[in-house]
Amino acid sequence: MTEHGSGLVEGKTALVTGAASGIGSATARAFAREGARVVVADVDAAGGEKTVAEITAAGGDARFVQADVTRESEVEALIAAAVAWGGLDCAVNNAGITGEPSGLHDLSLDAWNRTLAINLTGVFLSLKHELPVMQQQRAGAIVNVASGAGVVATPGLAAYCASKHGVLGLTKTAALENARTGVRVNAICPGSTDTPMLRASMARDPGLEKLIRRSLPGGRLGTPEEIAETAVWLCSDRASFVSGESMLVDGGSVAR
């Protein structure tokens, strides 16, 4: 366990996809701080290795595996690498993109397909290969990262909104299918969070930035670390009776 942690996931091995930056990186670091060995996965090798270096510098244990979650062979190899290294007790399926802001009528099929491939099919493929490992050991916890846009509409982000609604459907189905296997599956729905991805989206579309700013009851963006804490808790034994939940972590934005 690295310094300052309380050992919520002590001795476990956790996999985090999309862990090169933003929420994924913060989540990988939080797992390490709470005592887990962490498999850091991303297509971005430089960013993934940076996350590993930060974990190692803080006294944690991590390794990087490059993987594209839209390619089943790479997801399968990623899970196999995690199992070979230390097992698979926890998984956070976080890899995702916002996509280009666009009215639905102007959205290209290519943009639609790319967003769904990463955000939805990527979660499906991750679940498909994580679940058998956890079912066999009769234990495990999975957190899928959805979004507040999985609960309410987001004008200008039709593909993103559809993909995140889909993640919640996958989560609930997987939770019920595994209710007797010892495997729990939940989702978190972050509100607007101060990540490089969100900053880039707001920079591209001033209208989107105004929409986001108006949706913040507390007047600020969330931090990646605040989202990460929820993911770690859901994977810990303290959440042992929580499954099928879609937990909003948004400072009250959807409650407005």
How many residues comprise the chain? Answer: 256
Domain assignment present for residue 253? The answer is: no
**H or E element at residue 99:** none
Regions of the chain where pLDDT drops below 70 = 1-4, 194, 198, 202, 208-209, 219, 256
Q: Say what the pLDDT of residue 1 is.
A: 46
Give the residue among 58, 77, 59 at the shortest CA–CA distance from 69. Answer: 77
Domain assignment present for residue 256? The answer is: no
Domain assignment present for residue 153? The answer is: yes
Q: Say what the pLDDT of residue 35 is.
A: 97
Give the residue among 160, 156, 171 at the shortest CA–CA distance from 234. Answer: 171
Does the CA dihedral 210-24-229-247 come out positive or negative?
positive
Domain assignment present for residue 3? The answer is: no
Kindly give the interhelix angle for 158-177 and 109-116, rounded to the nearest 10 degrees. 30
Q: What is the CATH number of the domain that holds 39?
A: 3.40.50.720
Furthest-apart CA atoms within the chain: distance in Å:
51
Give the residue among 170, 67, 157, 165 at the shortest CA–CA distance from 112. Answer: 157
Query: E-assigned strands of the chain?
Result: 13-17, 37-42, 61-66, 90-93, 140-145, 183-190, 246-249
Q: How far is residue 32's CA from residue 50's CA, in Å, rounded to a whole number?
A: 14
Q: Which domain holds residue 45?
A: 13-248
- Among 31, 64, 124, 160, the active-site one is 160
Q: How far is residue 83's CA from residue 77's CA, in Å, rounded to a whole number?
A: 10
Q: What is the pLDDT of residues 54-101, one digit of tens each?
A: 999 999 999 999 999 999 999 999 999 999 999 999 999 999 999 888
Write down the pTM of the prediction.
Answer: 0.92
Q: How far is residue 24's CA from residue 197's CA, in Å, rounded to a whole number?
A: 11
Residue partners of 136: CB distance under 8 A and separation at least 6: none
Domain assignment present for residue 132? The answer is: yes
Domain assignment present for residue 81? The answer is: yes
Domain assignment present for residue 39? The answer is: yes
Domain assignment present for residue 8? The answer is: no
Q: Say what the pLDDT of residue 103 is.
A: 93
Q: How far is residue 220's CA from residue 193's CA, in Å, rounded to a whole number?
A: 9
Q: Say what the pLDDT of residue 5 is.
A: 72
Q: Say what the pLDDT of residue 254 is.
A: 76
Determine whether 160 is an active site residue.
yes
Among all chains, which residue has been given the structure tokens 């978190």?
188
Domain count, the chain: 1
